[in-house]
Amino acid sequence: MNAKLSANQRAHELVSAMTIDQKIAMLSQSQPVDAHYGAAGFVPGQPALCIPDLVLNDAGQGVGDAQLNTTAFPAPIAQSSSWDPALQWRFGAALGWQAWHKGINVQLAPGVEIDRVPLNGRNFEYMSEDPYLAAQGAVAEVRGIQSNPVIATVKHYVANSQETNRMTVSSDVDQRTLEEIYAAPYEAAVKQGNAGSVMCSYNRINGTYACENRDTLTTILKRQFGFTGFVMSDWGATHSTVPAANAGLDMEMDVKPGQYFTAPLKTAVQDGQVPMSRLDDMVTRIVRPMFAVGIFDHPAAAEPAAAAVNVQRPQDIALARSLSESGTVLLKNQGQLLPLTGNGKRIAVIGPGAGPAGAQQFYNGAGSGHIPEFGAKSDVVTPLQGITQRALSDGDVVTYADGSSAAAASLVGETADVAIVFAGSQDSEGVDRSTLDLSSGNCSFVVCTPQPVDQDSLISQVAAANPHTIVVLNTGGPVLMPWLNQVQGLFEAWYPGQQDGNAIAALLFGDVDPSAKLPETFPASQSDLPTRTPQQYPGVNDAAGIPHATYSEGMLVGYRWYDAKHITPLFPFGFGLTYTTFALRGLHLSAGRGRPALANATFTVADAGPRLGAEVAQLYISDPRNAGEPPKQLKGFEKVLLKPGARTKVKLAIDFRALAHWSDSAHRWKVGSGCYRVLAGDSSSNLPLSATIAVGGARCKGAKLHVSNALLRRAARGHTT
Ligand code: BGC
């Protein structure tokens, strides 16, 4: 308990004082899921050794599981749409604070898996189809959580892209794709964020379960990334004692008390099947981050009192609202119908997502990320409430139809100046969506609530009755929009959390300027998806009956696929409108020192429109053709808030990894010589600024900057994503 020593020293001192039984007791949970005051996991403390309880709890959209009186923030996909890591840090910090006051000291978040398949029922729990964007969010959230005496758990490691057959499917993925796309957000969370814990996933990777996969756990995560914390299994993802322990799993978690990392592990250690040094390593890895984040020195609130406590602070509720405002993407605004201005308007609010019943369903996704997991929350502001209250101040009149009858809804819409239709689907852990459209319902594995109506047809009918129709979507991922040409306005609000109604009202009425951008491509048709064959998704069984999902699209995930195949999506990655307009000008490249920047890209962003607003300036790199990379990839961004007429300079660093690719033959990251194009703009499909960097002596037409091999060598050391 000497706080002057380093976490590492304290961990080693502690482990060297432990008996084998005391060590084993750290490695699994003693009670079934939720038994300890509604938390998913509980590893009892050992007072004789001053080891506090470990209380592990879900946290995708707030402090979840069966915890009451916590804040339901917007879903991670909505947070990521803000392209604002500083805001994501604040989310992490609030999450950790609420957790600690609930007696929780391990958060089972953030989810950083790459959104490979838009049908994935857990799409909403993750951050993006792009590893760079997901990495920035992951680092911010981990740092925010661990600014409290609480450990963050990055999940679900790795290539955990679908819920169909989630317990058995093998994700068959090549090494380069694994390194460049799927493992990259974990790498950043571990190297830059210092995440204390990583959760291995249910699926197999190349035939071996993720929680007993030596390649991913030991070779990549622990050796290559230098991860010094612990790997816990997803609940029920441990399948063995000796193979799992020797492959690199450190903690068994399950819905029932531990069965592999208990007495069988003790026997395996005594028999020499698992070395004692490995057992020591497992325990050291668990207690080291406990010391590092302060769990020993600042014990979490004690139960049973903590279970009942209301941990919501006014600033948390305000944060939930600003996250939702910043994460709701404006996708269409024909004829500048939005924001709603003027007085005395007649506003029709329509649809299952707007009223009390629907909002309970759509404010966040289902499964272990839901707040609270099994129940309703009483302080959710519905869109109907939020809009009605805001409309009052403009003297507007709001009418409402729940959308259960399209004919009745059209009638309400017809007599209004503007009709706002809320449509959505409640995606869930445990089950994938069967289609990308909104015509049929979705059943989550927790609750089965099929939509009462065909929402595509509802929107179409309302739009036919009122030309000024706005759609607000509450979905966990991309959807198809057969009615898009009929409507004038469109928002994607994802799962906006408990401040749903206030946030959407602020955006509709222009109290806040929309500033979010899509973290995922919206396809025009389901047949355009990168995963087109059953072999890719959901996978086909091998002779032994094991399903295999073959990642044959390789690195062509999301916009990388659409670019490479010249397919125009419905809405591209990085796209989102605002109520003002921005101009980007004058891309300039300057030399960096190699650690970390090889080069810096500078350009001006100006608010050329009439309103205060925020723009997300985006930087992509297009590698030389012989590198074998996708056409272009996001490598930098910055969100800037500007007053009308104001301008600012954005400076984005281009580091080693921005130009590097994974070399299978060299087994490391490499930057080849050649001409690298730097592209900047406001979405992946609008990149008006460009310049070329000549690398390693390459001769490139019009190159603005040369990067020497000597600088590359300096930059190659100690890089991260
Ligand atoms: C989920 C995890 C979650 C765990 C504990 C599992 O079913 O996949 O994301 O952390 O349960 O609730």
User: Mutate which of 55, 67, 108 to test ligand 1's pocket (most atoms within 8 Å of Cβ)?
Assistant: 108
Dig out the tokens for 677 from the structure.
């194009």
Ligand 1: residue whose CA is nearest its atom 5: 40
* Centre of ligand 1 from the C-alpha of residue 207, in Å: 22
Residues within 6 Å of ligand 1 by CB: 40, 58, 108, 155, 234-235, 368
Contacts of residues 688-693 at CB distance under 8 Å and 24 or more positions apart, as own/partner, are: 688/584, 689/584, 689/585, 689/586, 689/587, 689/603, 690/587, 691/587, 691/588, 691/589, 691/601, 693/589, 693/598, 693/599, 693/654, 693/659
Residue 341 to residues 133, 391, 416, Cα–Cα distance (Å): 34, 10, 15
User: What's residue 365's pLDDT?
Assistant: 87
Q: Which residues are catalytic?
A: 234
CA-nearest residue for atom 11, ligand 1, is 235
Determine the Cα angle at 71 with ends 348 and 40, to 5°: 125
Cα(202) to centroid of ligand 1, in Å?
A: 10
Instruction: Tell me which of 34, 58, 197 to substitute to probe ligand 1's pocket, judged by most ligand atoms within 8 Å of the beta carbon.
Output: 58
- Choice from 234, 254, 371, 445 to test ligand 1 binding pocket (greatest atom count within 8 A of CB): 234
Identify the pLDDT of residue 255. Answer: 95
In the structure, how many helices (H) and strands (E) does the chain have? Answer: 21, 27
For 364-388, how does the pLDDT look when each residue is reduced to its tens digit (9 = 90+)? 888 898 888 777 788 999 999 999 9
User: 398-419, pLDDT tens digit by residue?
Assistant: 999 988 889 999 999 999 999 9
Residue 179 pLDDT: 98
User: Which atom of ligand 1 is the closest one to the Cα of 369?
Assistant: 9
Which of 208-212, 362-366, 566-570 is predicted least confidently? Answer: 362-366
Average pLDDT over the chain, rounded to an integer? 95
Share of the chain above pLDDT 70, in %: 97
Tokens 């957000």 correspond to what residue?
Answer: 185
Model confidence at 718: pLDDT above 70: no
Taking the C-alpha atoms of residue 299 and residue 52, their distance in angstroms, rounded to an integer, is 7
Predicted pLDDT of residue 448 = 41
pLDDT, residue 476, reads 94
Residue owning the nearest CA to atom 8 of ligand 1? 234
What is residue 447's predicted lDDT score, i.e. its pLDDT? 42
Which ligand 1 atom is nearest residue 155's CA?
A: 9
Q: Which atom belonging to ligand 1 lies closest to the Cα atom of 56?
A: 5
Average pLDDT over residues 112-120: 97
Reported as a pLDDT band with limits 50, 70 and 90, residue 360 is: low
- Pocket test of ligand 1: the residue of 157, 235, 254 to mutate, having most ligand atoms within 8 Å of its CB, is 235
> Residue 312 CA to chain centroid, in angstroms?
23
Please tell me the distance between residue 315's alpha carbon and the centre of ligand 1 in angstroms.
28
Residues pairing with 428 in the sheet:
366, 431
Both tokens assigned to 21: 């039984």
Compute the average pLDDT of residues 197-215: 98
What is the Å distance from ligand 1's center to 369 Cα? 8
- Token pair recorded at residue 356: 């009390």
Share of the chain above pLDDT 90, in %: 88
The residue whose C-alpha atom lies closest to atom 4 belonging to ligand 1 is: 235
CA 358 to chain centre: 24
Q: According to the model, what pLDDT value does residue 444 have?
A: 43
Task: Kindly give the distance from the C-alpha atom of residue 235 to the centroid of ligand 1, in angstroms, as a whole number.
Answer: 6
In angstroms, what is the span from residue 430 Cα to ligand 1's centroid?
A: 10
pLDDT in the model for residue 445: 41
HEC sequence for 163-201: CCCCCCCEEECCHHHHHHHHCHHHHHHHHCCCCCEEEEC
Rounded to the nearest angstrom, the distance between the alpha carbon of 234 and the centre of ligand 1 is 6
User: Which ligand 1 atom is the nearest neighbour of the CA of 368?
Assistant: 12
pLDDT at 453: 77
Q: Whose CA is nearest to atom 7 of ligand 1?
A: 235
Q: Hey, whose CA ends up nearest to atom 2 of ligand 1?
A: 234
pLDDT digits (tens, 9 = 90+) for 252-292: 999 999 999 999 999 999 999 999 999 999 999 999 999 99
Count the residues in the chain: 721
- Which tokens in the block code for residue 29? 């949970």
How far is 200 from 396, CA to CA, in rounded Å?
52
Ligand 1, residue 58: give the atom nearest the CA: 10
Predicted confidence at residue 363, as pLDDT, reads 84
Q: Token digits for 473?
A: 């979507």
Question: For residue 512, what are its two tokens?
Answer: 């806040």
Residue type, 126: Y
pLDDT of the residue at 446:
41
